Each structure stands twice: as C-alpha cells, then as structure tokens.
Structure 1
Amino acid sequence: MNAIKTITLASCVLAMLASIDAHAQASEGAGMAPAAPMTQSTKAQNHALNKKVRAALVKTKGLKTENIIVKAHGDAVMLEGTVPDASQIDLAMTAAKGVPGVASVDNHLTIKEPGQ
C-alpha cells in the first residue's frame, strides 16, 4: 500500500513541476503572436488545393500516382509516398509546381524497393 501512495505522490509532484515549467515558458513568450487557428475557410482552401494537385498528378502522363500522398497547407504542398523510379519524382515535382496557387513543394517521395 505504501508503494501506491509513493507512486501517487511522485506523480503529483512531477505534474506540478511540469505545470510550473510550462507556465514559465508561456510567460516568457508574451510578445510572440499565437498561431492562427485553422478556420473552416482555411481547411476548405487546403482541401481545394490538395484536389487540384492530385488531379494534376493523375493527368501527368507516365506518372504512377497510386502511392503518392498530397498534403496542402496554405500555398505549400508536400508530396509523400513511393514511386517506381527517380524519373517519377521529377515528374511529380514538375506537375505539382505547375498548379496555380502552389508556391512551394516539399518532396518526400522515395523510390519503391523491388518486391514492396
């Protein structure tokens, strides 16, 4: 029974110390602007850009899009997943950059290993 009380007390002390540290960090950055919350409008814009990029990838001749994931945030697009060879990575980058509204493309595509 003493072990349970000791563990409970230790947990409470750790939680209290963590909250003090978190408060100190929050107080230091009082001059920093908080991150803007994602509004319904922002989500809709991200979704629309995502669809445009996905459509451009699908229309690109010779590009295998089955394993490509598109994520849009603002005017930045991230490509993730696997493609059969290096030329596919270049095709995907070119197609994504050509979509109106895309300012930057962060490419995390990798070459699919044989047998995967």
Structure 2
Amino acid sequence: MKAFQAVKIISGTLIVLASLNAYAQSNDAAAAPDATAAPSAKAVRAANRALQRKVLKALARAKGLTAGNITVRARGGAVTLEGRVSDQGQSDIAGKTAQGVPGVTSVKNALEIREQ
C-alpha cells in the first residue's frame, strides 16, 4: 500500500512540474515579428517618402538638368517624374538619373517639354 501511495505522489509531482514547465515557456512565434508579414502602411509611406527624397536629391545634383520644376512620386520602388523641362535632353537625363538611384525599380517619365 505504501508503494502505491508513493507512486501516486511521484506521478502527481511530475504532472505538476511538467505543466509548470510548459506554462513558463515563451511562445517564440508570438514574441518575434513574422519576417514574411507585410509592413505597416506607415512604414510603406515612410519608405516611399525616403525614396522620393533620394531621387529628388539625385536630380538636383545631376549635371545639365534644372530640377526645379520636376515632381517625383514614389510607390513601392516605382518612380514617376512629372513637371516641365526645357528640352528632351533634360528629360532623358532626369529619367536616367532616377533609374540610377538605389531602390528604384522602374521610372515613368511623364515630363513635358516646355516651349521657349
């Protein structure tokens, strides 16, 4: 009878310890952000603005280009150039400069040639 009582006590103790151990473990899947999860809308807007600033900075530094009347829109790596330039050469320079900026995947050159 004492052996049976000892087995019950040991079994009960092991069950309690096992349940406490399982409860104390952290859930790594919930604690770590999912790498495949889509970024938040705020992060996407910030990335688009940062890319827009990079392209504008590159356009301002480009030789042979007056970038004062050029507007840049960026969305997910796709860049759109809008505004007016004085000739086709400046439009080409703007497109090539924008394409050379890291992070740009495509460039839509919607620049208008301003007649003088």
Category of TM-score, reference length = shorter chain? 0.5 to 0.7
Q: Which residue of 2 aligns with 1:97?
A: 99
Over 4 Å off, 4+ runs = none
- 2:97 corresponds to which letter in structure 1? A
Deviations 1:15-40 (A, max 9, x none): xxxxxxxxxxxxxxxxxxxxx9x710
- 1:88 corresponds to which letter in structure 2? Q
* Correspondent of 1:113 among 105, 112, 115: 115
SS of the equivalent of 1:92 reads: helix
Q: How many residues align?
A: 79
Unpaired runs of 5+ in structure 1? Answer: 1-35
Q: Which residue of 2 aligns with 1:62?
A: 64
Unpaired runs of 5+ in structure 2? Answer: 1-37
What's the TM-score, normalizing by structure 1? 0.65
Deviation at 1:60, TM superposition (A): 0.2
Matches of 1:84 and 1:64, distance apart in 2: 8
What's the TM-score, normalizing by structure 2? 0.65
Q: CA RMSD in A?
A: 1.6
In the alignment, structure 1 residue 50 sits paired with structure 2 residue 52? yes
**Bigger CA radius of gyration:** 2
SS of the equivalent of 2:83 reads: strand
Matches of 2:101 and 2:68, distance apart in 1: 19
